[in-house]
Chains A and B, each alone.
Chain A
Amino acid sequence: MTKQQANWSPYDNNGGTVVAIAGADYCVIASDTRMSTGYSILTRDYSKIIQLADKSVMASSGFQADVRALQKVLEARHLIYQHQHNKQMSCPAMAQLLSNTLYFKRFFPYYAFNVLGGLDSEGKGCVFTYDAVGSYERVGYSSQGSGSTLITPFLDNQLKSPSPLLLPAKDAVTPLSESEAIELVKTCFVSATERDIYTGDKLEIVILNASGIRRDYMELRKD
């Protein structure tokens, strides 16, 4: 007697791509604003980026219902932290919190592919990349979501040393200037939009630096 398979899944994939790049004194976090299901578009104007703390911004692709639930949990936990410690959470602290929150639901995961960006306690840019159950690593740049397979090889080519044997591995900060990083992100998304059906509509870029936080928008292909 073969095991009966479920014909209903609690998960759905709303598509989308997120990218983050860390610099010496800034961090750029970007995502497209398309939310889709199957072959249809639900909305062209959905923000996948949320500011969790002063210097921490999270961008998540995947199942947006789970993403929203995750965001609410993190916001609540941050509020409690502020009450208890009388200060904002640093980005590395938020990174650990996110990892723990994800692993807490190890056996019914949040279908969320996250990228956390911000400034660490020294003011240097930091990017943390996650899988769905909380495994994380601090990196100089990262991409998650439906277009990540198209974007990551390009970022590797432009930002990474070709082989760890030839040159010492670059440390977790890229050598680009802020405007170069923004240019790079725009090119990544425009190219991913050409070839990935789930990426498009509009690009939202969040830039975090010493002077604060600002948002930039750019139109993408709508087909």
Chain B
Amino acid sequence: MSELAGTIPGKGGFSFDLCKRNDMLASKGLKPPSFLKTGTTIVGLIFQDGVILGADTRATEGPIVADKNCEKIHYMAPNIYCCGAGTAADTEAVTDMVSSQLKLHRYHTGRESRVVTALTLLKSHLFSYQGHVSAALVLGGVDVTGPHLHTIYPHGSTDTLPFATMGSGSLAAMAIFESKYCEGLTRDEGVKLVAEAICSGIFNDLGSGSNVDICVITKGKQEYLRNYLLPNPRTYVSEKGYTFSKKTEVLFTKITPLRELVEVIEVGDAMEE
């Protein structure tokens, strides 16, 4: 009567068929597989000429660092960039998707994209997935209406702020912003403050680490400063190095040639023509 488990999944979207079985397994003590999360410290602030975004570069899988130098500042439009925290696959997918939608919209309207457009596309997507798409974003850009900075939460709510932080290192970074932010910062002051906030996350939060990426967006120009700071070099390199000569050893070798079994049955007429 019932079909085999694991038959064709539904067309697109999430399938919640296995939820009951997952709950049953969890109650028996089975831990679900972990996702690659970005741990993360991401920040944004508005300065006198535009927006500066910052991010660390560590991606974690539980207690292990999966990527020491990943890119968390994603391109949305020439004048709009988005930092992502949460599940790495979700932040990548959602920013790529909205970036494509914005491009099509630019072709359709013949105008530069606006930050609020990206904001609405992202928030409605996240809301429709009821928080299952685990992406927490800091969206910033400069358009005809001026500089904008927004935070977007996995369930789809948004805030519009002069300075913002997200991710596991957000408290460490926000401590810096709250102490030192003021309106009308110059570019150099802004970059310095963002770098300081990300460093605070890198050194005080175990989910964040490695390097600082910064993106400065102003009217008509953007500068993506990949690896702006590298405050964590390897502290010791062995001079002589190590050899790895021990391969899997051969205990003994046995060669069994394949024998061809050909039976020739002389029955019936020989083939004609």
Give the interface of A toward B (CB within 8 A). Answer: 2, 36, 39-41, 146, 157-158, 162-163, 165-166, 183, 186-187, 190, 193-198, 218-223
Q: Which of B2-10, B62-70, B180-188 is near enough to bind chain A? A: B62-70
Chain B residues whose CB sits within 8 angstroms of the CB of A41 once the complex forms = 204, 206
* Nearest chain A CB to B183 CB, angstrom units: 31
Contact of B63 with A196 in the complex, beta carbons under 8 Å = yes
A93 to B56, CA, bound (A): 49
Residues in B with CB closer than 8 Å to A218 are: 235-236
CB-based nearest B residue for A158: B242
What is the minimal beta-carbon distance from B213 to any residue of chain A, in angstroms?
14
Q: Are A40 and B236 in contact (CB under 8 A)?
A: no
Contact present for B203 and A223 (CB under 8 Å):
yes
Q: Are A198 and B63 in contact (CB under 8 A)?
A: yes
Contact B64 A39 (CB under 8 A): no
Q: B168–A39 contact, CB under 8 A?
A: yes
Residue with the greatest number of chain A CB neighbours at <10 A, chosen from B27, B64, B168: B64
Q: Known contacts A195-B64, A223-B58: does B235 contact A36 (CB below 8 Å)? A: no
Stretch binding the partner chain, chosen from B114-122, B134-142, B245-253: B245-253
**Pair B235/A221 contact, Cβ less than 8 Å:** yes
| B68 near A194: Cβ-Cβ < 8 Å | yes
Query: A2 vs B236: C-alpha distance in the bound complex, in angstroms?
Result: 53
Distance of B38 from chain A, by nearest CB (Å): 13
Cα distance A41–B204 when bound, in Å?
6
Selected A-B contacts with CB under 8 Å, 30 pairs: A2-B27, A39-B39, A39-B205, A39-B206, A39-B207, A40-B204, A40-B205, A41-B204, A41-B206, A146-B63, A157-B244, A162-B246, A163-B249, A165-B251, A166-B251, A183-B240, A186-B238, A187-B238, A187-B242, A190-B235, A193-B235, A196-B64, A197-B65, A197-B207, A197-B209, A198-B206, A220-B235, A221-B232, A221-B235, A222-B203
- Indicate if the CB atoms of B235 and A223 lie closer than 8 Å: no
Q: Could you say which residues of chain A place their CB within 8 Å of the CB of B168? A: 39
Q: A39-B168, A223-B58, A223-B209 are in contact. Are A194 and B65 (CB under 8 A)?
A: yes
Cα-based distance from A193 to B235 in the complex (angstroms): 10
Which B30-47 residues sit within 8 Å CB-CB of chain A? 39
A162 to B203, CA, bound (A): 39
**Residues on the B chain within 8 Å of A190, using CB:** 234-237
B218 beta carbon closer than 8 Å to chain A: no
In the complex, chain B residues 188-209 whose Cβ is within 8 Å of any chain A Cβ: 202-209
Q: Quick check: B202 and A223 within 8 Å, CB to CB?
A: yes
B210 in the interface, Cβ–Cβ < 8 Å? yes
A200-B227 Cα distance, complex, nearest whole Å: 21
Give Cα A222–Cα B235 distance, bound, in whole angstroms.
10
Closest residue of chain A to B211 (Cβ to Cβ) is A223
CA distance A158 to B205 in the complex (A): 33
Residues of A within 8 A of B68 (CB): 194-195
In the complex, B87 has a CB within 8 A of chain A? no
Does residue B113 face the partner (Cβ distance < 8 Å to A)? no
Q: Which residues from chain B contact A221 at a C-beta distance below 8 Å?
A: 209, 232, 234-235
Assess whether B232 is in contact with A195, with CB atoms less than 8 Å apart. Answer: no
Q: What's the nearest-Cβ distance from chain B to residue A151, in Å?
A: 13
- A222/B246 contact (C-beta < 8 A), A39-B206, A166-B251 known: no
Decide if A36 touches B65 in the complex (CB within 8 Å). no
- Cβ B234 vs Cβ A162 within 8 A: no
Q: Is the CB of B249 within 8 A of A195?
A: no
Cβ of B79 under 8 Å from chain A = no
Q: Report the separation of the CA atoms of residues A144 and B39 in the bound assembly, to the nearest whole angstrom.
A: 25
Residues of B near A187 (CB, < 8 A) are 236, 238, 242
Collect the chain B residues with CB atoms within 8 Å of residue A195's CB: 64-65, 68
- CB-CB < 8 A to A39: which residues of B? 39, 168, 205-207
Is B99 interfacial (CB 8 A cutoff)? no
Give every chain A residue within 8 A of B204 (Cβ-Cβ): 40-41
Cβ of B165 within 8 Å of any chain A Cβ, yes or no, is no
What distance in Å separates the Cβ of B58 from its nearest Cβ neighbour in chain A?
Answer: 7
